[in-house]
A and B are shown apart, each in its own frame.
Chain A
Amino acid sequence: MAPKQRNTTAAAPPPATSTSTSTPTPSTSSSQPTTAAAAATTAPSKPRLTAGGQPQTLDRIVANVAAHYLDTTPQRTKLLDAFMAFLVAAGALQFLYCVLAGNYPFNAFLSGFSATVGQFVLTASLRIQTTEANKSDFPNVSPERAFADYVVCSLILHFFCVNFIN
């Protein structure tokens, strides 16, 4: 699932992305929602870089994952995924800014960054709880309940962020 992406984007060295993203994207399929595909593909790109040896297997893995994703994910969940991808992008942007331009208002950076991370994590939780496959793990949590929880937690999160931003 998607939660990995933040780490990858943060850690992956810039030159790798150009080569790796170019190969899998045409191979997967032509008519996919772009953000979701990017989310699914950027992550596996990095190990391939470290391994380097078996591009063939990796290609197949990526293709499989993408196919699986497209087959099984309902439309609503895709929406969530899009939101998560946006959050990853926002987080990565902030981090990049922090690295390049310095972290001077550290409060502001921290609250901004943790707002994206927190929101990402909460959305991921919501996604997990609403997925049909995980139904057995959450006997007490209906999708409606999950959404209510999500709203409450987000409110708390943003309250803290706004309070911390100075």
Chain B
Amino acid sequence: MTTISENSKNLDMALSNDRARVLKSLVLSDTLFSFATRAAAYAVLLLLAGIIISLIVGAWPAMKAFGFEFLVTERWAPQLEPEPVLGALAPIYGTLVSSFIAMLIAVPFGLGIAIFLTELCPHSIRRPIRLAIELLAGIPSIIYGMWGFFVLGPFLANYIEPSIVAAVVNIPVLNSIFSGEMVSNLSLFNASLILAIMILPFITAIAVDVFSTVPPVLKEAAYGIGCTTWEVVNNVVLPFTRVGVVGGVMLALGRALGETMAVTFIIGNSFKITGSIFAPSTTISAAIASEFAESEGLHQSALILLGLLLFVLTFIVLATARFMLMRLEKRAGA
């Protein structure tokens, strides 16, 4: 008897020893894991700081030479002797306006598609449409650029834009926004339209995902008290999901602001602010892409400064988005 009880005691001790060992090794692996993830996270911060610092170092000569004037100067004259005159106003204008028009087109379309897919679409065609939209997101930007250059641009310039120009030619403000003076394949509007197509999948995909998080019971209750589809979408689905929708829209805006290759192909790369959206323009990223390789000295530094400005611009957009989301969440919580 004693031997048995002693044995079981020994066994117990052995077991608890074992458990301690196992637990210890678990603690070790957990610490290692947490250390590795932390290192990865800090590495990103370090990388970000490194990029900002090298941008500032590269942009310093231009900052010193142009100062605040850089932001309000429209001229871009790298060839001037003895000192070039360079200003960021035209690319900033082009970046903001092209992104704004793109959002103006893509947001209603993207949300409309998402609502159709989640609320109205017959099951049989839901998958093919979603797949097609996801494929749009997978098309490389250079392909959009080529398609815009060879197909969309000539089509718009030859068939669509002349009739818009003719329709508004006598309406005061519109006739300068849609001025026919420079209608060509490459323009601010054509670039914006390509941008809209490029960011559409982002808006749609995120909206579809967040729309499907709406508890069916909420929608069913609304339908049950006699709401129309529009009322359900407007009063149940959108209020329930607005945080996610705004997030998706901001992500798309971030992409539109920084898009380079497709825009460089079709915006016309002209450092002029004309007020007409059918005129060629340029964006920050298009200016950098087309001029950086052949630039030197102050010109190159000014291009780096443009890059820094784009960085700041995108940061402001994302920060505003965060801020708006926070306020929305607070209001929703109250």
Partners in one complex: no
What is the interface of chain A, defined by CB distance below 8 A to chain B? none
